[in-house]
Structure 1
Amino acid sequence: MSILESTVNNIDSLDKTSIEQAKKRLDRLIKPQGSLGKMEDICMQLAGIHKNKHFDTSKKVVIAFGADHGVYEEGVAPDPQNITYMQLPNFTKGICGVGVISKFVGADVIAVDIGVNCDHELEGVLNYKIRKGTSNMAKGPAMTIEEAIRSLEIGIEMAEDSIKKGYNLIGIGEMGICNTTPSSAIISVIDNCDPEDVTGIGAGLKKERVKFKADTIRKSIELNKPNPEDAIDILSKVGGFEIGGMAGVILGCSANRIPVVLDGFISYAAALLAYKINPKTREYMIASHSSAETGTQRALNILNLEPVLNMGMRLGEGSGAALAFNIIEASNYTYENMATFDEVDMGR
Structure 2
Amino acid sequence: MEKTMKQISPKDKQVGKEVLAHLNDLTKPKGSLGRLEELAIQLAEMTGDMFPTISPPGSIVFAADHGIANEGVSAYPQEVTAQMVYNFLGDGAAINVLTKEINAMFEIVDIGVASDLDGDGYVAKKVKYGTASFLRENAMSREEAQQAMEVGMEVAEKMIDNGAKSLILGEMGIGNTTSSSAILALLSEGDLEDIVGRGTGITEEMLQKKREVIQQALAERQPDRNDVLDILSKIGGLEIAGMTGAMLKAASRRTPIIVDGFICTISAILATKLSENVSDYFIFSHRSEEKGHGLALDLLHARPILDLGLRLGEGTGAALAFPILESSLQILKKMATFSSAGISKEQKSIKVKN
Q: Could you state the TM-score of these two structures normalised by the residue count of structure 1? A: 0.97
Distance 1:106 1:207 in 2: 40
Q: Retained in 1: the 8 A contact 2:82–2:117?
A: no
Q: Retained in 1: the 8 A contact 2:170–2:260?
A: yes
Equivalent in the alignment of 2:66: 69
Does residue 221 of the first structure (1) align with residue 218 of the second (2)? yes
Deviations 1:119-169 (A, max 9, x none): 233542200001110011001211111011111111111111011111101
Pick from 180, 184, 192 the counterpart of residue 183 of structure 1.
180
Q: Write the letter of the residue equivalent to 1:40.
A: E
Does residue 268 of the first structure (1) align with residue 268 of the second (2)? no
Deviations 1:175-205 (A, max 9, x none): 0011100010111111111323211000111
Shift of residue 92, structure 1, vs aligned partner: 4.1
Q: Retained in 2: the 8 A contact 1:196–1:211?
A: no
Q: Write the letter of the residue equivalent to 2:272.
A: Y
Shift of residue 50, structure 1, vs aligned partner: 1.2
Shift of residue 72, structure 1, vs aligned partner: 1.1
Equivalent in the alignment of 2:335: 338
Q: Could you state the TM-score of these two structures normalised by the residue count of structure 2? A: 0.95
Q: Write the letter of the residue equivalent to 1:86.
A: Q
3-state SS of paired residue (1:34): coil
CA-based RMSD: 1.1
Does residue 323 of the first structure (1) align with residue 340 of the second (2)? no
Equivalent in the alignment of 2:242: 245
Distance 1:89 1:29 in 2: 48
Deviations 1:23-61 (A, max 9, x none): 111111111212212211111111111112011112112
Q: Write the letter of the residue equivalent to 1:13.
A: P
- Which residues of 2 match residues 1-348 of structure 1 at below 5 A? 4-348=1-345
Distance 2:283 2:52 in 1: 16
Structure having the higher Rg: 2
Q: Which runs of 5+ in 2 are unaligned?
A: 346-354
Shift of residue 342, structure 1, vs aligned partner: 2.1
Distance 2:105 2:117 in 1: 24
Q: Write the letter of the residue equivalent to 1:320.
A: G
Shift of residue 88, structure 1, vs aligned partner: 1.4
Which region of structure 1 is more displaced relative to structure 2, 239-248 or 91-100? Answer: 91-100
Number of equivalences: 345
3-state SS of paired residue (2:108): strand
Q: Retained in 1: the 8 A contact 2:105–2:164?
A: no
Q: Write the letter of the residue equivalent to 1:104.
A: E
Q: Which runs of 5+ in 1 are unaligned?
A: none
Q: Retained in 2: the 8 A contact 1:65–1:175?
A: yes
Distance 1:218 1:32 in 2: 53
Q: Write the letter of the residue equivalent to 1:38.
A: R
